[in-house]
Amino acid sequence: MTSPVKTQWIDVAPGFGGYLALPPAGRGPGLVLWQEIFGVNAHIRGVAEQYALAGFVVLAPDLFWRGGPRIELGYVGADRDRGIQLMMALKSEEIESDIDAAAAALRERPEVGGARVGGIGYCFGGRLAYQAAARGRLDAAVAYYGGGIQQKLDLAPAIACPMQFHYAGHDDHIPPAAVAAVRAAMAGAEVHLYADAHHGFNCWDRSAYRAPSAALAHGRSLTFLARHLYGA
C-alpha cells in the first residue's frame, strides 16, 4: 500500500536541507520538527510522517549540515559520542540562524499557505523548540525532555506563544529540580511528568522507549497542537 504521506528532502537555505512530510490533504498548518543529537535519522523521519498523518506539513531541518549532509546516528557508543561532538560544535549564532531559516522556510511553503506554524522537538531539539518560541518564530511549541532548557530560563519572559513540556520521571540529564524550575519559570504552560519513564521514552528505537508514556504524550501533543495551530 502506498503511504498517503508524501516526503522529500528540500533546501532550507544554501547547503542547509530538511526532510519535508506532507499530509494526505497536501496542505495544512506547519510543524518544525527539531531532531535529537542523532540527526534526521529513521526515527525522526518516522515522527515527521506520524505528524503529517495528523494533517501537519512537517519539516525536520538537518541541523548538523555543517558537519556533513544528512548525518544519521545510532543511540549508543561511538555514534552517541559523535552526536554530542556535533552538537557541541554548533555556535549559538549558527543555531539561531538555523532556527530562523527553518521556521521561515516552512511558513513560505505553499502547502502551509499562511496557516500557523508550530514546533516540536526531542532532547536537543526540545531545547531548540523552546528557543524558537523565545525568538517569536512559532505559534505554539512542544518540548520533550529538552536538555538544557533549565540553563536558559532567562528566555522564558520572551515566550508569547503557548508551550507544552514533557519530562521523564527518571532522567539522568534533567533532575527533578530542573523540571520544577521550568514549571516555575513557565507559569501557565502545560508541564507533564511521566513518573515511570526514562529520558528518550518517545523513541521506539531506543532502549528507554516506553509505549504507555509515548502514547499518552503523543495524544497530549496532538490535542495541544490541534488547539493552537488549527484553532480547534
Catalytic residues: 123, 171, 199
CA distance 25 to 159: 31
Within 13 Å and on the Cβ side, how many CA atoms surround 64? 24
Burial of 52 from C-beta contacts in 10 A (0-12 / 13-18 / 19+): buried
The set of cell numbers assigned to 203 is: 523513541
CA distance 43 to 36: 10
- Residue 18's DSSP bridge partners are 10, 61
CA distance 33 to 163: 15
SS3 171: coil
192 and 220 in contact (C-beta within 8 Å)? yes
Give the strand pairing for 190-198 and 140-144: unpaired
